[in-house]
Structure 1
Amino acid sequence: MKTVKVYGPGCKRCAATEDMVKDAAARLGIAVEVEKVSDPRAIAMAGVMSTPGISIDGKLVHAGGLPDQTKLEGWLSA
């Protein structure tokens, strides 16, 4: 199971990113545990300078704007 963290203050883009992660994982048949991180200090500590951000198994893979669907699927498959 992959651990995915979605970093953001709770805006619509952050919620959309969380939904994109869940949908992509379901399509790929990958089990994921998605955690939403909205604490500003935790976001900064993770190195996210622009939200939404995504980390997969502790590695920051995206920050700022909605992720590209193809890239998201690649990150989840890796």
Structure 2
Amino acid sequence: MEIIILGTGCAKCKTTFEAVQKVVDESGIDATVYKEEDILEIVKYNIMSLPAVVVDGEVKIKGYVPTKEEILKAITI
């Protein structure tokens, strides 16, 4: 599984990346998590508000820092 955190480096984007990485580590899910800060790559997802969480190419969460439960739901469905 590939999880991409879209964000330009703001505090909310960094917090989202850390939260997603923590959930993946704690749950033992086999996933690669990384941040995408290149605005030219971000616009390809047609996202108007950041941060966003992309799971295997599909935008699952956008515009806010998700809770642990929301992250688990997004990456296990």
State the TM-score, normalizing by the size of structure 1. 0.90
* Alignment correspondent of 1:11: 10
> For 1:27-54, what per-residue CA distance to the aligned partner results, in whole angstroms no more than 9, with x for missing partners?
2110221121111121111121100011
Is 1:74 aligned with 2:73? yes
2:13 and 2:23 map into 1 onto residues whose CA distance is 15
How many residues of Structure 1 are paired with residues of Structure 2 in the alignment? 77
2:12 and 2:54 map into 1 onto residues whose CA distance is 16
Gap runs ≥5 in structure 2: none
Residue identity over aligned pairs, in percent, reads 25
* Alignment correspondent of 1:65: 64
| Pairwise CA RMSD | 1.0
Moved over 4 A (4+): none
Deviation at 1:68, TM superposition (A): 2.5
Specify the SS of the correspondent of 1:67. coil
State the TM-score, normalizing by the size of structure 2. 0.91
Gap runs ≥5 in structure 1: none
* Alignment correspondent of 2:41: 42
Specify the SS of the correspondent of 2:54. strand
